[in-house]
Chains A and B, each alone.
Chain A
Amino acid sequence: MLLETWLVQLKHWMVNLFPAGWQPGVGSLVSVTVILGVFATLFAVATLLERKGLGRIQNRPGPNRVGPWGLFQPVADGIKMLTKEDIVPLTADQVVHFLAPIVLLAPVTLAFAVIPFGRKLVPIDLDAGLLFFFAVGSAAEVAAFMAGWSSHNKYSLLGAMRAIAQMISFELPLVISTMAVIMMSGSLSLVEIVRAQDGGVFGLIPRWHVLTPWGLAGFLIFFTAALAESNRSPFDLPEGESEIIGGFMTEYSGFKYALFFMGEYFGMFAVSGLATTLFLGGWHAPLPFLDRTLVPSFVWFFGKLLLLLFVFIWLRGTLPRLRVDQLMNFSWKFLLPLALINLLVVALWRFTASWPLAGRWALCLVALAAPFVALGAALMRHRHWKPRHYRYAR
C-alpha cells in the first residue's frame, strides 16, 4: 500500500509542518508543484519520443548526439530556446502579444486539476469536472486569436482564423462523444466515471467503456476530434509550416515560442488523460486482478497516457495534412452526425440491458456501422480520381 499512497503521505507530512491556517494553501501549492513537475518532465520525454519515433518511422535514427542515444536532447533544446533572442515585431500589439502565450498555457494547465491520476491522486474532485475541463479548454481559442491578431502579420492572422474555426468545429464532436459516457455513468465527475469502469467479467475482461460498441465508436470519434483540438497532424492546419509558415506562432521566438510549444503538448497530455479516464478505464489495470497487486495505480494511468501519445506520434508520421475544406467537411458532415448517432446507440445499449450480450452487440454494431458506411459512401460519391492539374507548377 505504501507504493500506492507515498505521494499522498508525503503531501500530508509536508502540510503538517505548517500552522493550521496555512494548510489548505500549502496543500494546493504542493499538488500544483507536483503536477507541473510531472508534466514538464513528460513534456521533455514526449518531445524526445516524438523526434525519435518520427525518425524511426522515416527510417532515420533520430537525435542521437546529446548524451547516450540522444537522451539529453530535450535539455539541449531547452537551453537553446531559453537563450534565444525574444523578438517582438515593431508593429505588433505589445501587450496582447505578451499575454497570448500565458492565456494559452494557464488554462491548459488548469485542465489537469480534475483528472484522476491514481486511486488516491485526484487533485480536485469537482461535481462538474468534465464541464470544467471543456470550459478551461475553450480559452485556447482566445489565446490563438490574441497571438495571431497581435502579431500584425497576415500569416499569423490566417493561422489564427484557421485555428479558431477548427477548434470550434471539432469541439462539437468532442463534447458529444463524451456525452455518451456521461449518459452511461450518470455523472459529470471524472472520479465517478472511473468508478463506473471498475471491476470486470471473471476478473479478466475489464469493464472499460472502450470495450462496448458505443464506447469504441465514442473513443474513435473523441480521439479524432482530440487530434484536431490539439492541432496535431493530420489536422495541423493552424501551423501548416509549408503553407503559412508557423500560423499564429510565426512572430514568436525564444521562450514565448517554447511556451506555445509547451501549451500544445500540455493540451495533448490533458486530452489524452481525459480519453484514458473516459474510455480506457482511468487508473485501472488492463486486467482487473492486477488492480490488487503492488503496482501503484498511477503507473497504469501514465502507461495508457504514453500509449496514446505514441498513437499521436504514429498518426503524425503516417497521415498527410488535410485541406481546409476537407477538414470542415469531415467535421460537420461526417464526425458530428456519427457522434449524434452514437448518442442514440448509447440509449439503445442502456435500454437493452436485459438482452443477451451477443444480440445487444450485434444490434449496436449494426446501428453504428450502417450510418458509418452510408455517410462515407455519400461523401465519397462525387469524388473524381483524376490526375490533378496544377496551374503554376508544371
Chain B
Amino acid sequence: MKSAFIVLVLVILTSAAAAVWLRKLVHAALCLTATFAGLAALYLQLGAEFVGFAQILIYVGAVAMLVIFAILLTRNAGMTPEVRWSKHSGIIGTAIGLLVLGCLLISLSASNGIRLIAANTPEPTINVQRMGEQLMTRCVLPLEVLGLLLTAAMIGAVILAMPEKHGEGLDSDGRKIDEL
C-alpha cells in the first residue's frame, strides 16, 4: 500500500511540476490532466470510489477539455508564449503561493477530519447510496444553490457568446441558412 502511495505521489508531483515548467502551453495542459488523473488514483487508493470516479469524470473529462479549448481558441495556440518577466513577478508569485498555502492549511486544520484521525475513530463506511441520501436531505440547500449558480453562469456564457443581431442566420450571399 505504501509503495503504491509513493509511486502515485511521485507521478502527481512530477506531472504538476512539469505543468508549471514546460514551455508549450498544450504540454502543460496535458501534464495538468495527468495530475488530475493521478489525484483520482490517490482517491481510489484511499477507498473513496465515488470521489475518485467523479474526479476523473469532471476534471479529466471536462475541466481539462475546457483548459485545452481555452488554449486553442486564443492566439498562438501551441506556440511557446513570450514570457515577460517583470521585476516583481517572482515576489508576487511567491506571495500568491504562500497565500493559497495558508488558506489551505487554515481550512484543513479547522476541519474535523484531522481530529477524527487523531482520535483514532474507526473510519465510517461510505457508500454511494448514503452519499446520495445525504445530498438529498441534509445538503439539499447547498446543492440547489450550487445548481442555480452554475445555471446562471451558463446563461451568462450563452449571452456573451450570442452573435450580433444583424445578418443573423444569413450566409455570405445574404441567403437564409436552413437550420435543422
Do A and B form a real pair?
yes
Residues of A close to B42: CB separation below 8 A: none
Residues of A close to B49: CB separation below 8 A: 126-128, 132
Q: Which of A142, A157, A382 contacts B179 (CB 8 A)?
A: A382
- A32 CB to nearest B CB, Å: 18
Q: Which of B134-180 contact A (CB under 8 A)?
A: 173, 175-176, 178-180
Decide if A168 touches B180 in the complex (CB within 8 Å). Answer: no
Decide if A138 touches B62 in the complex (CB within 8 Å). Answer: yes
Q: A168-B65, A391-B173 are in contact. Are A96 and B30 (CB under 8 A)?
A: yes
Instruction: Please report the total number of A residues contacting B with Cβ < 8 Å.
Output: 38
Decide if A132 touches B30 in the complex (CB within 8 Å). Answer: no
Q: A325-B180, A329-B180 are in contact. Are A138 and B30 (CB under 8 A)?
A: no
- A377 CB to nearest B CB, Å: 13
Residues of A close to B108: CB separation below 8 A: none
Q: Which of B50, B60, B72 contacts A138 (CB 8 A)?
A: B60
Q: Which of A93, A126, A127, A131 contacts B57 (CB 8 A)?
A: A131
**Does A326 make an interface contact (CB < 8 A)?**
yes
- B100 CB to nearest A CB, Å: 26
Decide if B175 touches A389 in the complex (CB within 8 Å). Answer: yes
**Does B35 make an interface contact (CB < 8 A)?**
no
- B46 CB to nearest A CB, Å: 15
**Does B102 make an interface contact (CB < 8 A)?**
no
Report whether over half of chain B's contact residues are helix, strand or loop; otherwise say mixed.
Answer: helix
Decide if A141 touches B78 in the complex (CB within 8 Å). Answer: no
**Does B11 make an interface contact (CB < 8 A)?**
no
Q: A149-B78, A164-B69 are in contact. Are A134 and B57 (CB under 8 A)?
A: yes
19 contacts between A and B (CB under 8 A): A93-B27, A131-B57, A135-B53, A135-B57, A135-B61, A138-B56, A139-B56, A139-B60, A142-B30, A142-B65, A168-B62, A188-B128, A325-B180, A326-B180, A380-B180, A383-B180, A384-B178, A386-B178, A391-B173
A interface residue numbers (CB < 8 A to B) = 93, 96, 126-128, 131-132, 134-136, 138-139, 141-142, 145-146, 149, 157, 161, 164, 168, 171, 186-188, 325-326, 329-330, 333, 379-380, 382-384, 386, 389, 391
Nearest 7 CB-CB pairings of A with B: A138-B61, A135-B56, A329-B180, A135-B53, A131-B53, A135-B57, A326-B180
